[in-house]
Amino acid sequence: MGLTIFAAYLVLVVALGLVASRGQRASEDFWVAGRRFGVPVLVLANVAAIMHGGSILSGVAFIGAFGGVAGLPFLAFAVGIAIVFFFFARKLRQSGGFTLPDYLGDRYASRKMRAWSAIVVAVSSVVYLVAQLRGMAFILERLLEIPFLWGLALGSLIFVAYVALGGLLAVVWTNIAQFFFMWAGLLLIAPVLLQEVGGWTGVMQQVEQTAPGWTSLRGVSWGWGYFISWQIIWMLAYCTRLELVTKMYAARDSWVARVSLPWTILIVMVFLLYGNMYLGAVARITVWEGLATPDQAYVALVGRYLAPALAAFALTGIAAAAMSTTDSLLLMAGSALAHDLVRKCVDEPRGVERDERSYVWISRGAIVAVGAVAFVLAIPDVALILRIVSFAVAIIGAAFFFPLIAGMVSSRVSAQAALASSVCGVLTTLVWIAGTLSGQGWAQVVHPGIPGLLVAGATMALVNTFTPPAVAIGGVAAASGEGRGP
């Protein structure tokens, strides 16, 4: 039954990819789907990109392990999306670019900034992908009753195939299909849990008895430093979330880009309350003691409380959730490498001219390469999926938060300051991540993204004092009415 349901879903996804591939006549069609999406489509695509497989599998695991409120960054999420709403959405859409490195390269008139940003996007996407591919493999292992490695290989192949075929149009239409599969999968188990375990109040009382302190602000084991830093990291995660921010380019206009965001917040809030906190508490009460790893908690719940056919459908829904973020990450990495690195930093300075379809094929090749690297790195057993994701968002936040926010609100920031801020922030974050993974005491106090962010901000302020302001070029200059033309 599991094979039948997943095969039907797979046929739908590949069919959407094939249909979308027929309309790819230029790089704009492949990377931003011709900038044609309205509010309903963009909202569903935004939500599907945020509510990924890792956010369900490891969201349940993380909250189940450490406690409810401590792992549930409502305020961080709302503030992060508000920053996109007030500062990023309109300017990104009006700039007419394709990628985040595209905006930064034009804003600071710097090929170095563009190239560095493209590399950061590709590397951080690989880290994200490791988490998503492992989540997908856990689901396929249970759903199809195949070894973990086979599930990992199958999931990787599926992702790479339909993204390389159809570009953003395929990504968005499959995201919408995945959104409905995902919610159907999550809601299937709800009536059973309400009857067998209890409603919100009853479950919270039971989990507090099972794990004293679970419902407190800091959960069962969080210090104030790590709790506060966790909220800051997820605020940064949502305001610099590549798979969300870059979808602003595909909106029909800047109004659509902005209006899609409040609706995204509302739907994701409902998901966090039920899909993470309630299910995490139920898992802690009912299946926790028998788990080999916390990331198997949701799968164990489904296996315990649903009949085989319904369990197969529920797990297919979570597989859909994993796909809805992974496809966006693959496309972002491919477009950043093809458009920003090859076209803007290699070909144009040397006077090399290629037709649009050549860059589409380069992007497809980059997608395959990034997918292959992520597959290899996902094979070893690693930490909680959500922890891996938090490292990726820390890298992205340290790299892009200050160059983006400062570049959008001020005309006095220099290219040298933006680049130095990004490089120093990323390097500091990587050092702290290494210390965290190796168990160094100094690295356990706060999340690795916090020192990276502090160093990035201080570096920008310092370097900006003795370097001249950057003058925007291209679409960024045209959108702001300042700077030079293309």
Contacts 24+ apart (CB under 8 A), 403-407: 403/104, 403/107, 403/108, 403/113, 403/460, 404/87, 404/88, 404/100, 404/103, 404/104, 404/240, 405/83, 405/87, 406/460, 407/104, 407/107, 407/108
Dist CA 15 CA 472 (whole Å): 42
What would be the CATH architecture of the domain defined by 2-471? Up-down Bundle (1.20)
Angle, helices 308-335/53-66, rounded to nearest 10 degrees: 110
Q: Could you tell me the residue ranges of all domains in the chain?
A: 2-471
Task: Tokens for 106, please give them.
Answer: 């034009």
What residues contact 472, with CB distance under 8 A and at least 6 apart? Answer: 106, 107, 108, 109, 480, 482, 483, 484
User: With contact defined as beta carbons under 8 Å apart, do 184 and 193 qualify?
Assistant: no
β-bridge mates for residue 251, sequence order: 37
pTM of the model: 0.78
Contact by Cβ (8 Å): 425, 455: yes
Q: Are 470 and 481 in contact (CB under 8 A)?
A: no
- Give CA–CA dist 45/257, Å, rounded: 12
**110-131 exposure pattern, b = at least 16 Cβ within 10 A, e = fewer:** bbebbbbbbbbbbbbbbbbbbb
- Which pLDDT tens digits describe the chain residue by residue (486 residues)? 666 777 777 777 667 666 766 655 666 676 676 788 899 988 887 887 777 666 777 778 888 888 866 565 667 777 888 888 888 888 888 888 888 899 999 999 999 999 999 999 888 888 878 877 887 787 788 777 888 899 889 888 877 876 776 666 667 777 777 777 777 777 888 888 888 899 989 999 999 999 998 888 778 877 777 777 777 877 877 788 777 777 888 888 889 989 998 898 888 888 777 878 888 899 999 999 888 878 788 888 988 888 888 888 777 777 766 666 667 778 788 888 988 999 999 998 888 888 877 888 888 898 889 889 989 988 877 655 667 777 888 898 899 999 999 998 888 999 999 999 999 999 999 999 989 888 888 887 788 888 999 999 999 999 999 999 999 888 788 766 544 433
3-class DSSP assignment, residue 146? coil
Between CA 432 and CA 448 the distance in angstroms is 5
Question: Is-contact 175 324, C-beta < 8 A?
Answer: yes
The amino acid present at 68, given as its one-letter code, is: G
The answer to whether the beta carbons of residues 107 and 470 sit under 8 Å apart is yes
Burial class for 482, CB neighbours closer than 10 Å (0-12, 13-18, 19+): exposed
